[in-house]
Structure 1
Amino acid sequence: MKVKEIIVVEGKDDTAKIKQAVDADTIETNGSAINADIIKQIKHANEIRGVIIFTDPDYPGERIRHIVSNSVPGCKHAFLSKAEAKAKHDKGIGIEHASLATIRQALASVYELSSGYNNELTKEDLLACGLLGGPKAKDRRQKLGLELRIGYTNGKQLLKRLNMFHITKATFKQTIERIVQEEKNEQQ
């Protein structure tokens, strides 16, 4: 699989793993030490070929994703869940621990932000589906983020991310219905 865009990753281990999975070029942020020169390089890459931000599913990775996407409008986003990025024998979480198939799947399911939000989904939709403030809310948000490949978010950020990635109400409802049905099947 050849990836046209340049992939923004945190470090050299991520680059090595991505190059095993796909034919792609990367820019490394050197972890959270991202500086003005790297942002300038990412802006140039985005103008020439486009950029996919593909950071680890942890706090530093989300911080880097936020810095880059705010500094370089028009980037695409690829996500892994924590389970997909977890090391087998230690506490590490990162792209470098993911399987090659999982990396390919994440890069095939890229989201592009647009300048505005679709605002199709509301807080009431999230409340009605048990995604905020209930005993199963966190678990459902994790499953929803995994199914839609938008990453895990807390309740406050979920609505923003759903609308930011233009997840339609129909897609949202189909996905949450599947999750609720799986919960019912697990209880039987």
Structure 2
Amino acid sequence: MKIKEVIIVEGKDDTVAVKRAVDADTIETNGSAVSISTLRQIELAQERRGVIVLTDPDFPGERIRHIVSKHVPSCKHAFLPKKEAISKNKDDLGVENATPEAIRQALLHAKEEDVEHPEIVSWQDLHAAGLIAGSDARRRRERLGELLRIGYANGKQLHKRLQKFRISAEEFANAMQCVFEEEDK
């Protein structure tokens, strides 16, 4: 599978994992201290070919995603669920631990940011779905992020991602229906 966009990853091990999964070029950020020269490379890649950000599903990965998004608007974002990115002995979380199939699926479902359209799913919708408060809120957000392929986020970040990636009210409702059906089992 060939990917025309350049994949933004954190390091060399992530590049190796991506190249096992797909035929693609990568730019490595070399951790969360993303340099200006790296951001310029990413800007050029976005102008010429487009970019997909694929970072680890952890705090440093989200920090890199935020830095890149801030400097290079309209990037696509691919998310790996934590369970797909954890090492066999469960002591390391990262893209380098994901199977080629998990990486392919994340890239196939990459979503583009949209900062110009109005809110689709409201904060009140999140409250009504039990995603903001309550004993099951965290688990529901995690499962919703997997189903919508937007990654895990706290309540505030979930709301932003639903808007950023133009998740429709129908997509949200269908995913929440799955979450609730799984709870009933």
Q: Are the counterparts in 2 of residues 118 and 166 from structure 1 also a CA contact under 8 Å?
A: no
TM-score, normalising length: structure 1: 0.96
Over 2 Å off, 4+ runs: none
2:82 is aligned with 1:62: no
Q: SS in structure 1 opposite 2:3? A: strand
Match of 1:145 in 2: 145
Residue 17 of structure 1 pairs with residue 17 of structure 2: yes
C-alpha contact (below 8 Å) 2:7/2:24 kept by paired residues: yes
The 5-angstrom pairing of residues 1-188 of structure 1 reads: 1-185=1-185
Unaligned segments of structure 2, at least 5 residues: none
CA distance in 1 between counterparts of 2:180 and 2:122 reads 19
Q: CA RMSD in A?
A: 0.8
Is the Cα contact below 8 Å between 2:114 and 2:163 reproduced in 1?
Answer: no
Unpaired runs of at least 5, structure 1:
none
Task: Identify if the C-alpha distance between structure 1 residues 129 and 90 changes in structure 2 by more than 3 Å, giving closer, same or farther.
Answer: closer
AA matched with 2:177 = E
One-letter amino acid matched to 1:55: T
Aligned length: 185
Q: Is the 8 A contact 2:4 2:49 kept in 1?
A: yes
In structure 2, relative to structure 1, the CA distance for the partners of 1:90 and 1:122 (3 Å cut) is: closer
- Looking at structure 1, the residues matched to 117 and 132 of structure 2 have their Cα atoms a distance apart, in angstroms, of 20
- 1:118 Cα deviation after fit: 3.4
Percent identity over paired residues: 53
